[in-house]
Amino acid sequence: MIELRDLKKVYPSKEGDVVALERVDLTIEDGAIYGIIGLSGAGKSTLVRCINLLEKPTEGRVVIDGEDLTKVKRKRLLEIRKNIGMIFQSFNLLEQRTVEANVRFPLEIARARKTVEKTYKRKGADGKKETVTEPKEVCVRYSRGEMRGRVAELLELVGLSDKAKAYPSQLSGGQKQRVAIARALALNPKYLLCDEATSALDPNTTTSILELLREINRRLGVTIIVITHEMRVVESICSEVAVIDQSRIVESGKVADVFSFPKSEIAKELIIPGLIRSVKSTGGKKLRLVFNGEEADTPIISGLALRCGISVNILYADTKNIDGKTYGHMVIALPEEEEKAELAKRHLKELNINFKEEL
């Protein structure tokens, strides 16, 4: 489990201190796919770099599996970092190395902890020397065979077994990110940090990478933290989300809950597209209907027309599939007559449709 407690990060400068994070509190449970979403400059990349202490917090604690990373010694921190993989928007592959050599690189520089049988002599209780064999934990380099097997396993996982001998320049953007994912998994990490990992990819490639991350989470149990400014990424794979704005977490919770009822202005900006708020300038009475997984198949508009005799203008409609259920928003313009507008609201309440009179 990852726990961020009262986290603060300040960058000193001649023009004055820049506060990148301000009193951040987050808990990310093991096995989750957790999204952190915000606009550029909100502090989300600084936040993810604080998790593995690539950026050291000015104040606060980063607790991973019960250990506060801000207090451990460097040697122990390096050990903990082996348990945290990371992928970036720009892939960061070694251009002079083949695909398999890129994936192998972490194994070449790391050492594995292994238990071996050590035999030595010591004095016994009677003062005589005796031979003793005991298990002892040691750090050893990975053998060529171990590295070869692990690389083959990872390339098969990310669907690039046929690209083992290729160089990064011969790959597409999506293939490069798959190599980066395989490399990040080389040391069997428990956590995988994804910093805008799909921002440089086209929509179809983004979908395939997100499906791969979901499969990795399912098959390997790796906890995945997704940093993004795109709500569609969060909707696609995340179970929970935190919204960051101006260095602070402004709201967090289940993706379906935050998507259905965003509370902060920035969450509304990210979740309810600008097209929705543009209808504010059209005048008249409007309602935002919220479908939270159960009512998507209800014939709302036809009901208003046939049962209530009300003509309704649909200004905007959008639905998303989250965890196998349909969620969405619809903005409708109500009749100018107060009596008909109230009749429409009563009908929506009878159908148990959530609605908001303000966007």
**Which residue segments constitute the domains of the chain, with CATH numbers given?**
2-83+189-260 (3.40.50.300), 272-356 (3.30.70.260)
Q: Which whole-number Å values give the CA distances from 192 to 31, 180, 184, 264, 329, in the listed order?
A: 11, 11, 8, 28, 32
pLDDT tens-digit profile of 197-212? 998 889 999 999 999 9
Burial class (CB in 10 A: 0-12, 13-18, 19+), 194: buried
User: Residue 40: is its pLDDT beyond 90?
Assistant: no
Structure-token match 């104040």, residue found: 59
Gap between the Cα atoms of 260 and 21, Å rounded: 27
pLDDT value of position 331: 83
DSSP for 65-83, please give it. Answer: TTEETTTS-HHHHHHHHTT
Q: Would you say the C-alpha torsion 228, 272, 211, 206 has a positive or negative sign?
A: negative
**Which residue from 41, 38, 82 is spatially nearest to 265, judged by alpha carbons?**
38
Q: How many other C-beta atoms are found inside a 10 Å radius of the C-beta of residue 352? A: 9
DSSP for 310-340, please give it. Answer: ---EEEEEEEEEETTEEEEEEEEEPPSSHHH
pTM: 0.83
Helices (H), 253-311: 255-260, 265-271, 274-278, 300-306
pLDDT tens-digit profile of 114-136? 666 777 777 766 667 777 777 76
Mean pLDDT estimate for the chain = 86
7 band by pLDDT with thresholds 50, 70 and 90 = very high
pLDDT tens-digit profile of 81-127? 999 999 988 889 999 999 999 999 999 988 766 666 777 777 766 66
pLDDT tens-digit profile of 284-316? 678 888 876 665 566 777 877 787 788 778 887
Gap between the Cα atoms of 198 and 173, Å rounded: 10
Does residue 33 contact residue 24 with C-beta atoms inside 8 Å? Answer: no
pLDDT value of position 33: 96
Average pLDDT over residues 234-260: 91
Degrees to nearest 5, angle at CA 260 with 256 and 265 = 115
